[in-house]
C-alpha cells in the first residue's frame, strides 16, 4: 500500500516540520518506507552555492531513500516571509502545476508526507493557494494543530476549509507549542468532540523539539483505518 498525505497546519510555527519528520520516523519504526518533502521553503541560507532551508534539510535526512535536496525542496526562497511575497521579491513565480510535477516525480514509498507552507490558505500567487496544491494532488490531509490560546477557532476553521475543498481529513495531531497553555486538556477534549477525524497523537511541550520523541506519540493505525473507511475495497 502506497499512500501520500498533505501535512498542513493551523498557522506557521505550529510544528509542521517536526511532525512531518515524526510521521516519517513513526512509519519507519513500524517497518515501512517513508519519505517527506517540503515543496516550498521560505527562509534559506547559502550552503555550498545553494539556498538551503533547515526544515527541508531535516526532512531530507529522515527519508528512507537517498534523495537530492532539490527533490525534497524544489523551491527554496531566501526571505523568511510569505512564500508568494518572497518569490515576487526574487522575480520568481509559483504555480500549483509546477509544484505538483515535482511531487509526482518523487520515488514511490509506502508513505509520502508533503509539508505545506504556513497554513491552509497561504497564497502561491494571485489566484492559487496551498489548498489548491493539496486539491491538485488529491491527497488526504493531516492537520497539525498548534495547542495554544485560540487553537479551537483556528483548528475548526481549518477543518471546515479542508472539507469544503473536497478533501479527506485523514487525522489531526495536537502539538503543545505553549508550555503554559491554560486549560490545555479541556481544549483538547473540545477539539476531539468537534473534529470528525482520528486524533493521531498529542505531542507534549518540548523545550528542544525532538522528532524522535514526537514519533513515539503518533499512532499510525487510526490513519490507516481512516483511509480504509473512506476507500473501501
**Percent of the chain having pLDDT more than 70?**
96
pLDDT greater than 60 at residue 232: no
Tell me the mean pLDDT in the region 129-136. Answer: 98
Backbone φ and ψ of 76, nearest 5°: -110, 110
Question: Looking at residue 225, what is its pLDDT?
Answer: 66
Q: Which of 2, 16, 38, 228 is catalytic?
A: 38
Tell me the mean pLDDT in the region 80-84. Answer: 96
Over residues 153-201, the pLDDT tens digits come to: 999 999 999 999 999 999 999 999 999 999 999 999 999 999 999 999 9
Structural domains of the chain, count: 1
Over residues 25-39, the pLDDT tens digits come to: 999 999 999 999 999
Nearest by Cα to 36 from 110, 137, 87: 110
pLDDT greater than 60 at residue 233: no
Question: Looking at residue 92, what is its pLDDT?
Answer: 96
Neighbour count for residue 85 (Cβ, 10 Å): 13
Quickly state the pLDDT bin for 74 (edges 50, 70, 90): very high
Q: Give the CATH number for residue 116.
A: 3.40.50.300
Identify whether 38 is a catalytic site residue.
yes
Cβ distance 16 to 36 under 8 Å? no
Tell me the mean pLDDT in the region 2-14. Answer: 95
Q: How far apart are CA 29 and CA 88, in angstroms?
A: 41
Over residues 10-66, the pLDDT tens digits come to: 999 999 999 999 999 999 999 999 999 999 999 999 998 889 999 999 999 999 999
Q: What is the pTM of this model?
A: 0.95
Question: Looking at residue 231, what is its pLDDT?
Answer: 60
How far lies 86's CA from each of 78, 91, 100, 123, in Å?
7, 9, 20, 11
Residue ranges making up the domain that contains 41? 3-230
Q: How far apart are CA 111 and CA 200, in angstroms?
A: 15
Question: Looking at residue 2, what is its pLDDT?
Answer: 86
Question: Looking at residue 217, what is its pLDDT?
Answer: 96
Question: Looking at residue 228, what is its pLDDT?
Answer: 58
Mean per-residue pLDDT of the chain: 94
The C-alpha cell that represents 127 in the structure block: 489566484
Question: Looking at residue 221, what is its pLDDT?
Answer: 87
Over residues 89-98, the pLDDT tens digits come to: 999 999 999 9
The C-alpha cell that represents 110 in the structure block: 509506502
Question: Looking at residue 226, what is its pLDDT?
Answer: 62
Position with higher pLDDT, 5 vs 1: 5
Amino acid at each position: 500500500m502506497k499512500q501520500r498525505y498533505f501535512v498542513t497546519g493551523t498557522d506557521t510555527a505550529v510544528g509542521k516540520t517536526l511532525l512531518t519528520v515524526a510521521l516519517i520516523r513513526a512509519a519507519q519504526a513500524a517497518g515501512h518506507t517513508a519519505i517527506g518533502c517540503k515543496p516550498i521553503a521560505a527562509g534559506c541560507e547559502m550552503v555550498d552555492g545553494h539556498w538551503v532551508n533547515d526544515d527541508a534539510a531535516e526532512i531530507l535526512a529522515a527519508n528512507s531513500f537517498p534523495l537530492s535536496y532539490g527533490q525534497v525542496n524544489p523551491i527554496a526562497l531566501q526571505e523568511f516571509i510569505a512564500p508568494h511575497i518572497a518569490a515576487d521579491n526574487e522575480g520568481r513565480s509559483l504555480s500549483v502545476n509546477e509544484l505538483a510535477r515535482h511531487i509526482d516525480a518523487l520515488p514511490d514509498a509506502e508513505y509520502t508526507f508533503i509539508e505545506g507552507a504556513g497554513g491552509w490558505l497561504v497564497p502561491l500567487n494571485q489566484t492559487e493557494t496551498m489548498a489548491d496544491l493539496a486539491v491538485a494532488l488529491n491527497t488526504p490531509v493531516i492537520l497539525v494543530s498548534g495547542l495554544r490560546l485560540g487553537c479551537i477557532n483556528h483548528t475548526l476553521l481549518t477543518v471546515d476549509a479542508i472539507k469544503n475543498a473536497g478533501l479527506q481529513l485523514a487525522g489531526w495531531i495536537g502539538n503543545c507549542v505553549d508550555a503554559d497553555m491554560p486549560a490545555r486538556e479541556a481544549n483538547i477534549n473540545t477539539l476531539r468532540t468537534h473534529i470528525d477525524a482520528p486524533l493521531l497523537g498529542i505531542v507534549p511541550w518540548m523545550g528542544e523539539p525532538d522528532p524522535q520523541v514526537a514519533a513515539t506519540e503518533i499512532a499510525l493505525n487510526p490513519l490507516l483505518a481512516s483511509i480504509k473507511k473512506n476507500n473501501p475495497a
